[in-house]
Structure 1
Amino acid sequence: MSQKLTGWIMKQTWVDLLFLHWSVDPSWLQSMLPPQLEVDTFNGKAWIGIVPFEMAHIRFRGLPSVPFASRLLELNVRTYVKYGEKRGVYFFSLDASHKAGVAIARNLFHLPYFHAKMGKKSDGNQISFWSSRTNKDAKQADYHIIYEPVGDTFETTEGNLDYWLTERDRLFIVRENNVYQGEIRHDKWPLQKVDVAVLRDTLSQSYYYHDSYITHFSRSVTTYLWPFEKITKTTSSSSK
């Protein structure tokens, strides 16, 4: 990352990250979103992604990493939306393996995090990742996937689908009818093609998952997160 970074509040490294995407009907997806947000599409198709990865070297700006809380596993379900001219990520759910991390994320960032029993095991280049949600007030969701990167590392080119699915620099939340954006910065993803076997999946049943999907793998990327800021548009009425 060439530019000097200022104002970020959290730094993380994402490890062994898998993007698994499938296309869905845009009008159906719009019905799943808060009304303030609009579905983003690529060549008329909307997309949902499942993203499992390990989060490491977690620390807040100005503070050292906390040994017992600096690593966790995460599994999120996401899609791509617009708010005016801004494009970004919207999360349906984020499962994580650390109870304190879930509590912090829910209270500080107001994101739909849930605690889950999770595990990750590597055998050479092959990665086995599994998750079982434990929150009593949330829908049960189990997921077990095996994935293995193949081929050379490549970077995406702006304008193609690979870039559109992976290179996003903001995320949105809607709280009390207001829209907030959080900025995320990192170097371009070093991507690889990946072989995938889904062994168990009750996570994607509500999202029209099917066997036709697009996958990408990234070994590691360091990310910086900024505080959420309110960006709700306001309309002023002229006085008479």
Structure 2
Amino acid sequence: MSPRTSGWIMKQTWEDLLFLHWSVDRDWLQSMLPPQLEVDTFEGKAWIGIVPFEMNQIRFRGLPSVPFASKLLELNVRTYVKYGQKRGVYFFSLDASHKAGVMMARNLFHLPYLQAKMGKKSDGKQISFWSSRTHKGVEKADYHIIYEPLGTSYEARKGDLDFWLTERDRLFIVRGNKVFQGKIKHDRWPLQKVDVAVLRDTLSHPYHYSDQVVTHFSKKVTTYLWPFENVTQTGKPLHIK
């Protein structure tokens, strides 16, 4: 990547990533968000996504990857929001397979990471990914999906739904009355069409899951993350649910 990556604090590689999105009622989704954030929409539709993938080569800037701590599986539930003129991702949950990684993400970044038993297998074509949440004090959630990428990869065009659902360069968290953003940069997703079979799913039950889903696959990107910064807008009214 170019020098625009200067200042990053963490580098990761994401592999075998699936985007599975469905549209939901905008007003209902707004009621699920912190009042500081506003639902972002594409042509009037609000969206929720489930995203399973493998994360590896994790390292902090200036430090090497640690073999036993540099790889994990992740399964997140996300949506798309606005804060002022900024657009980004908001996570409802991020299940992950590495206990220490979950603790670090919760304590350092205040992200809703949850411990889960997870597995992934691939025969070179199909990918089988499963997760069973084990985090104490949190409702259980199971997910098992098989997906197979098809055809050649392409880059989404700006202005298309494919681009809107996948190309985001920041995420938001809300703590108390303060809003923080974390910037993320990577090359454009190499997207592919994908066949998907959901074998077991209690993860999406709270989120008005629809069988009318939009799916994308991406084989691999290297991602850079920046420190969270306080972007709270003072003296302006918060969004009302």
Give the TM bin, normalised by the shorter chain: over 0.9
Aligned match of 1:114: 114
Q: Paired residues, what number?
A: 236
TM-score, normalised on structure 2? 0.97
Q: Report how far residue 210 of structure 1 moved.
A: 1.5
Amino acid at match of 2:101: G
Percent identity between matched residues is 78
SS of residue paired to 2:8? coil
Aligned match of 2:72: 72
Deviation by residue 1:163-218 (Cα, 9 ceiling, x = unmatched): 00000000000001100000000000000000000000000000000111000000
Gaps of 5+ in 1: none
Q: Note the 1:129-144 alignment, pairs <5 A.
A: 129-144=129-144
Gaps of 5+ in 2: 237-241
- Two-structure CA RMSD over aligned residues (Å): 0.8
Q: Report how far residue 3 of structure 1 moved.
A: 3.7
Q: Report how far residue 2 of structure 1 moved.
A: 3.1
In the alignment, does 2:77 pair up with 1:81?
no
| CA distance in 2: counterparts of 1:177 and 1:45, whole angstroms | 27
Amino acid at match of 1:132: S
| CA distance in 2: counterparts of 1:59 and 1:125, whole angstroms | 29
TM-score, normalised on structure 1? 0.97
| CA distance in 2: counterparts of 1:21 and 1:124, whole angstroms | 24
SS of residue paired to 1:34? coil
Amino acid at match of 1:201: D
Aligned match of 1:190: 190
Amino acid at match of 1:108: L
Deviation by residue 1:36-56 (Cα, 9 ceiling, x = unmatched): 000000000000000000001
SS of residue paired to 1:130? strand
| CA distance in 2: counterparts of 1:4 and 1:175, whole angstroms | 28
Distance 1:63 1:74, change over 3 A: same
| CA distance in 2: counterparts of 1:184 and 1:132, whole angstroms | 28
Aligned match of 1:152: 152
Moved over 4 A (4+): none
Q: Report how far residue 124 of structure 1 moved.
A: 1.9
Aligned match of 1:210: 210
Amino acid at match of 2:223: T
Q: Report how far residue 11 of structure 1 moved.
A: 0.2
Amino acid at match of 1:181: Q
| CA distance in 2: counterparts of 1:209 and 1:29, whole angstroms | 12
